Structure 1
Amino acid sequence: MDLFSRSWTALLEAVAETPDEDFERPSGCTGWLVRDLVCHLVIDAQDVLITLVTPAETEATVDAVTYWNLVEPPTGEDPLDALIPRLAAAYGDPRLLKFHLDDVGSAAGRAARLADRALRVSTRDVVLTAGDYLSAYVLEWTLHHLDLIAHRPSATEPPAETLAAARASLEKIAGTPFPASFSDSDALLIGTGRRTPTDADKAALGDLAAKLPLVLG
């Protein structure tokens, strides 16, 4: 199973295993409850389905790394950011949200497995191969898996191979590696501002500390 499928399958399983009462608890995404994060994943799964059936005739303009832009931290003023908590709340019963994600998410997973990796697709006003698009989302899924279990220490972490791949992608975006002393999870959490670095972390990061957090958009 490729890294996209591995990371997405693990994330869907982690959502399915999340107790209903935890949907009202904070996630690792600042300002979002777990239910908001899961609602965001539904929208992401829809985006995957839409993108994989939106072929482009022009040359690729980005790859799996340059697909991501560094943006300012969200303020909550973006209309979509404001919509997601309201939409998530409208589901009411967490089981409905789980069902919707499993339904759309499973379809997105099947579409990814069937996709021609060399096909060029269009999304967000850029063009890239389907293979690069799916590779880019390994970082997204892995980060959101960490967000999902941020306050559930006993929950299953993302697969080791997808953590390593996500770290490698973030290091390419940063233009430099994270300290070897950082675990893959620590590199991702500290690198994207999900965890505040300690003084020791800052010392290990050196000049890279001034560039953090890397907020992806």
Structure 2
Amino acid sequence: MRTAVAGLPDEDFARPSGCTGWLVRDLACHLVIDAQDVLITLVTPTTAKPTHDAVTYWNVSDTPPAGDDPLDALTVRLAAAYEEPRLLKFHLDDVGSAAGRAAGLADPEQRVRTQDMVLTVGDYLSAYVLEWTLHHLDLIAHLSGAAEPPAECLARSRAVLEEIAGAPFPPSWPDPDALRVGTGRRPPTAAERTELGPLAGRLPLVLG
């Protein structure tokens, strides 16, 4: 994600992202906040038993965001305060690289507390693989020629989403399509809906 954002030309920051109501710059600002959350969580250990894992970490609804959430609006204002894309790129690279180093040093079996949940570090970071893979797809949603997320991240994210769904997506579907349709980032075509079968009635899985 850091590499993808760092490689964007300045004009792309003013383009829409795949997140309702957010420009690319707003999404990049959200990624800074995400990286800060990872740092905070990794230094919040606990001896309590896990209450959630990488699947149950998510609150799932069937209502896509309308773009009017107060926290979403705050993110827009914070992003605007950077004024220049280079400053946003610098902050994301600075905090994001620190979060990556902290994740690499953390014991996967250590338990941490976040949002009134207790998870192992491994499960917490697995949840964030899904989070950032989806946001990578959001980042490039309206950018021609932009690179997709790494194949291993797409595959892992699809596997977690299928666990959340309780059923697999059609094997013929590329991972990006499964993730976009599964989370409501785009509606299924008529043919895709037929392929989904009963699962179509349980979509979208809006993760929060």
Q: Equivalent residue for 2:50?
A: 60
Q: SS of the counterpart of 1:118?
A: coil
2:159 is the alignment partner of 1:168: yes
Contact 2:20 2:67 in 1 (8 A): no
- C-alpha distance in 1 between matches for 2:59 and 2:53: 12
1:86 is aligned to 77
CA distance, structure 2, for counterparts of residue 28 and residue 78 of structure 1: 16
Per-residue CA shift, 1:148-168, capped at 9, x if unaligned?
A: 111123111111111111000
Secondary structure of the 2:30 match is helix
Structure 1 residues 94-151: Cα deviation after superposition (integer angstroms, max 9, x where no partner) = 1110001001001100000011111100001000101110111111111111111111
Structure 2 distance, partners of 1:129, 1:82, is 31
Q: CA deviation at 1:15?
A: 0.4
Percent identity between the two aligned chains = 73
Please tell me the root mean square deviation across aligned C-alpha atoms, in Å: 1.0
Selected match of 2:29 from 36, 39, 47: 39
> Match for 2:180 among 189, 211, 217?
189
Unaligned runs of 5+ in 1: 1-10
Matched, 1:142 2:133: yes
CA distance in 2, matches of 1:197, 1:132: 30
Displacement of 1:173 in angstroms is: 0.4
Equivalent residue, structure 1, for 2:10: 20
Separation in structure 2 between the aligned mates of residue 76 and residue 149 of structure 1, nearest angstrom: 19
Cα distance change, pair 165–53 in 1 and its aligned pair in 2 (3 A): same
Matched position secondary structure for 1:157: coil
- Give 1:73 deviation, angstroms: 2.5
Q: Indicate conservation of the 8 Å contact 2:64/2:184, yes or no.
A: no
* 5+ residue gaps, structure 2: none
Deviation at 1:31, TM superposition (A): 1.2
Length-normalised TM-score, structure 1: 0.93
User: 1:27: how far off?
Assistant: 0.6
- The 5-angstrom pairing of residues 62-211 of structure 1 reads 62-71=52-61, 72-211=63-202
Between the aligned partners of 2:190 and 2:33, the Cα distance in structure 1 is 37
Count of matched residue positions in the alignment of Structure 1 and Structure 2: 207
